């Protein structure tokens, strides 16, 4: 039997001329114990004029530092925060603003969570392998 991770897909559509103070928000309720991966697709045409962040309450998850926004053009950005979800279900907020005065822009976001019982054994094994390689002088 193949185990499937909980995966959530959302589109954040941001109208033209949306200021940072009047950002657009979409909420997503996720299940699980750990936020494993966040994949953000930034389509061609953004030219770093549209900005995105993922938050829990007032805490930035993506990008990590407060008061920062993700921007780009024609790229897929992958984050693996391995962040413990503080509640079940957990409400995350996708936020964005758009400095483009002509076109609306969208970010496409995929969020993957997992359960503690599956996450921690792999982390322990990974750490053990790193230590073992270091002891043997293997990189």
Residue 2 lies in a domain: no
Residue 50 lies in a domain: yes
CATH number where 112 lies: 2.60.120.380
Total number of domains in the chain? 1
The Cα 134–Cα 103 span in angstroms is 52
Residue 71 lies in a domain: yes
Residue 1 lies in a domain: no
| Residues 131 and 52: beta-carbon distance below 8 Å | no
Residue 44 lies in a domain: yes
- From residue 55, give the alpha-carbon distance in Å to each of 3, 15, 43, 96: 27, 20, 21, 11
Q: What is the pLDDT along the chain (139 residues), one digit of tens a residue?
A: 455 668 999 999 999 999 999 999 999 999 989 999 999 999 999 999 999 999 999 999 999 998 899 999 999 999 999 899 999 899 999 999 999 999 999 999 999 998 876 665 556 666 666 776 777 787 7
Residue 93 lies in a domain: yes
Residue 122 lies in a domain: yes
The Cα 77–Cα 116 span in angstroms is 25
Which pTM does this prediction carry?
A: 0.81
| Residues 96 and 52: beta-carbon distance below 8 Å | yes
Query: Residue 54 sits in which domain range?
Result: 7-136
């Amino acid at each position: 039997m193949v185990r499937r991770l909980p995966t959530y897909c959302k589109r954040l559509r941001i109208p033209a001329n949306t200021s940072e103070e009047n950002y657009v928000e979409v909420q997503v309720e996720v299940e699980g114990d750990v936020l494993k991966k966040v994949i953000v697709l930034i389509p061609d045409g953004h030219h770093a004029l549209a900005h995105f962040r993922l938050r829990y309450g007032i805490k930035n998850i993506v990008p990590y530092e407060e008061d920062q926004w993700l921007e780009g053009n024609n790229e897929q950005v992958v984050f693996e925060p391995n962040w413990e979800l503080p509640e079940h279900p957990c409400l995350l907020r996708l936020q964005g603003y758009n400095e483009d005065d002509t076109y609306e822009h969208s970010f496409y976001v995929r969020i993957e969570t997992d359960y503690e019982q599956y996450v921690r054994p792999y982390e322990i094994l990974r750490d053990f392998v790193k230590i073992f390689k270091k002891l043997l002088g293997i990189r």
